Amino acid sequence: MKTNKEIFKQRGFALIAILVAVLVIGVIAFGTIKWQGQIQQSKQIENQAVKNLQKINDNFEKNNQAITKNLTEEPEVVDTNDWQIYYNEKYGYQYKTPVNRSSFEVLTVEAVKQPIDEYAQEIWQINKDDNNPNIKNKFISNLLTTKVDGRDAFTFNIIGSFQWQTGGWQIEKERTFIFTANKLGTVFLINFLKDDKISQEILKTFKINEDWVKPKVVDSQWLQYSKLSGVSFKYPGTVFSIAGKEENYVYFNSKRGTLSLTLTDKKLDPNNIEDMYGKIEKFETIKVGNNAGYKYKMGDAGCLATIVKTAVSDKTLVISFGSCPADLYYIDEDNDLQKQILATFKFTN
């Protein structure tokens, strides 16, 4: 018969065995759970990798399709046959443009002493350093070199705002800015919406010519003309030269257009200003020397003219400032020079 001590000892060994068994089962269970978790995590990683690979493959396919489309499609052709030539006589540049204007814009700065590369770099840096907190999503690209009409030019794209020495403005959509210059120190700032194909086509037609720059009128070189009956006036000899004259008619020619004066036998009626097409409904009353003059516009065969009529006793003096497309400078639009010439008129009858 076993003693209580022996029984207690046997029970102690049994308890230890049970605890060891529970511990072994726990370790196995924990290992199994952890292993299953690792498997689950591995599956998740594998699934995410598959998704990422699929996304990369999809993007690759889209890029391939886009490249193939660009290579196989014919480039969009912009019809410029009905475009008109815009000419700026003050700064000597021109370009072709559609009647319905695009986003194409040209700004100018005169008497710039810096080389164009330094000037463009300075403007680019001003915009690069602009940290205006009121401008959100500011972006400016790198400054790159290009050519405009065979001349060195510099370009960058920008969103948010644009700043330069003469001021600045906000820009909601990305615009391309291009700087180039002529030999007279005038900088041309060309800008347009980045993806505007019409403006890109206009840029191809942009031309600069220093010889086109409007010649200055030198006061000391004005010449007197007094061979029309009862009429004398002055004209700038640096601009006009006499191309034809008769007793009651004189005609001047220039790169800006023409100046002609005709003295008619018809008495001027201020209440009924007429031309060859009939009564003129809209005209402007101006001064011709000390006389009253009546100014209006007319056109014919692609040419335009500013007509001024004034009374000379019982006759009518018709003064015409005319320009045609082939002229470099449009005198019919030069109101300042017209006023200067008209102010010199004197009447003796």
The predicted-structure confidence for 142-191, as pLDDT tens digits, reads as follows 999 999 999 999 999 999 999 887 678 899 999 999 999 998 889 999 99
Whole-Å CA distances, 71 to 65, 66, 68, 194: 10, 9, 5, 22
List Cβ neighbours of 232 (8 Å cut-off, separation of 6 or more): 224, 225, 226, 345, 346, 348
Strands ordered across the beta sheet of 84-88: 84-88, 93-97, 207-208
Q: Tokens for 338, please give them.
A: 């017209």
Per-position pLDDT tens, the chain of length 349: 545 445 444 555 555 666 556 565 655 655 555 556 566 666 666 666 666 667 656 655 665 565 555 545 555 677 788 898 888 877 889 999 997 767 899 999 888 889 999 999 999 999 999 888 888 888 999 999 999 999 999 999 999 999 887 678 899 999 999 999 998 889 999 999 999 999 999 999 999 988 777 666 666 689 999 999 899 999 998 889 999 999 899 999 987 789 999 999 999 999 999 887 888 888 999 999 999 999 999 887 778 999 999 999 999 999 999 988 777 667 888 888 899 999 999 998 6
First to last CA, the chain: 167
Q: Tokens for 83, please give them.
A: 């475009």
pLDDT of residue 275: 84
Cβ atoms of 204 and 149 within 8 Å: the answer is no
pLDDT of residue 289: 95
The predicted-structure confidence for 253-276, as pLDDT tens digits, reads as follows 987 789 999 999 999 999 999 887
